[in-house]
């Protein structure tokens, strides 16, 4: 007889509410600890552009309150990024009771890997894409044009790229999930490689500003990460097949 407690839909909704509140609280705690340094954080994020600006170039604030709201907004988004591992842990803790033991072993590394890849995407765009893209933008300015970027426009630009590259770097995790659920398999993905190449450049065109450098710098890592995801999915499939054969051998 099963004596385990039976949870109703209302119980699950209460638990979901509690975990969402914990996520929000975690973001607020991180934000409160960082908001004092909001201007310093914005200055650090703006360094890639300021480093390549010509003599006399500077950033400006065209709106009355943008000098306050731009660093404030950046700090809030950064707080979400910093709290992401805890947020993913809360998601994991909510769904874990409904998973089998072998599924738990698979999902936990995926959550860790997704956090790492998201941070890797942000790091890549800051240290690789920004210096190249901003150097290109400032070098092609027409003669006599004084470069003075608005801080709100710059913030929207960098946040768009942060999210685009952070999500694009999740490709290996997405591929593993698709193969795990049986939606596809590594062999089918390898056969669709030419379409993936075209799709990577189309996505790069849609997610990045309309310049070839940003599009290429997003498309190429996406293709490499696609290959990594297919490789890892092949290892997972091989392991699953070996376990299935072992189980069949035990029953014979």
pLDDT tens digit sequence for 209-225: 666 777 788 888 889 99
> pLDDT tens, 10-50?
777 888 899 999 999 999 999 999 999 999 999 999 998 88
In sequence order, the 6+-apart residues with CB closer than 8 A to the CB of 137 are 211
Is it the case that residue 247 has pLDDT exceeding 50? yes
Task: Round to whole Å and give the CA distance between 95 and 99.
Answer: 7
Mean pLDDT of 160-176: 87
Mean of pLDDT over the chain = 83
> pLDDT tens, 50-79?
888 877 677 888 888 888 899 999 999 999
* CA nearest to 217, candidates 109, 125, 115: 125
172-181, 200-209, 223-232: least confidently modelled range: 200-209
Is it the case that residue 1 has pLDDT exceeding 50? no
Rg (CA), the chain: 23
* CA nearest to 155, candidates 243, 227, 245, 62: 62
Euclidean distance between the first and final Cα of the chain, in Å? Answer: 30
> pLDDT tens, 75-131?
999 999 999 889 888 888 888 777 677 667 777 788 888 889 999 999 999 998 888
């Amino acid at each position: 007889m099963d004596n385990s407690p039976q949870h109703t839909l209302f119980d699950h909704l209460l638990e979901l509410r509690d975990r969402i509140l914990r996520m929000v609280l975690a973001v607020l705690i991180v934000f409160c600890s960082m908001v004092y340094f909001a201007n310093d954080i914005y200055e650090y994020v703006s360094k890639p552009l300021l480093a390549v600006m010509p003599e006399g170039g500077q950033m400006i604030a065209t709106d009355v309150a943008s000098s306050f709201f731009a660093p404030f907004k950046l700090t809030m988004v950064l707080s979400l990024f910093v709290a992401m591992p805890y947020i993913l842990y809360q998601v994991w803790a909510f769904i874990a009771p409904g998973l089998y033991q072998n599924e738990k072993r698979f999902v936990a590394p995926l959550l860790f890997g997704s956090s790492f890849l998201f941070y890797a995407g942000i790091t890549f765009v800051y240290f690789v894409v920004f210096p190249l893209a901003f150097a290109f933008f400032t070098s092609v300015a027409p003669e006599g044009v004084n470069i003075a970027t608005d801080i709100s426009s710059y913030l929207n630009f960098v946040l768009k790229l942060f999210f685009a590259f952070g999500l694009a770097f999740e490709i290996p995790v997405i591929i593993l999930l698709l193969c795990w659920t049986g939606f596809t398999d590594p062999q089918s993905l390898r056969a669709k490689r030419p379409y993936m190449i075209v799709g990577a450049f189309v996505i790069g065109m849609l997610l990045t500003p309309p310049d070839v450098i940003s599009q290429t710098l997003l498309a190429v890592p996406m293709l490499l990460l696609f290959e990594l995801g297919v490789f890892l999915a092949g290892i997972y499939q091989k392991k699953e097949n070996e376990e299935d054969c072992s189980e069949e051998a035990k029953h014979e």
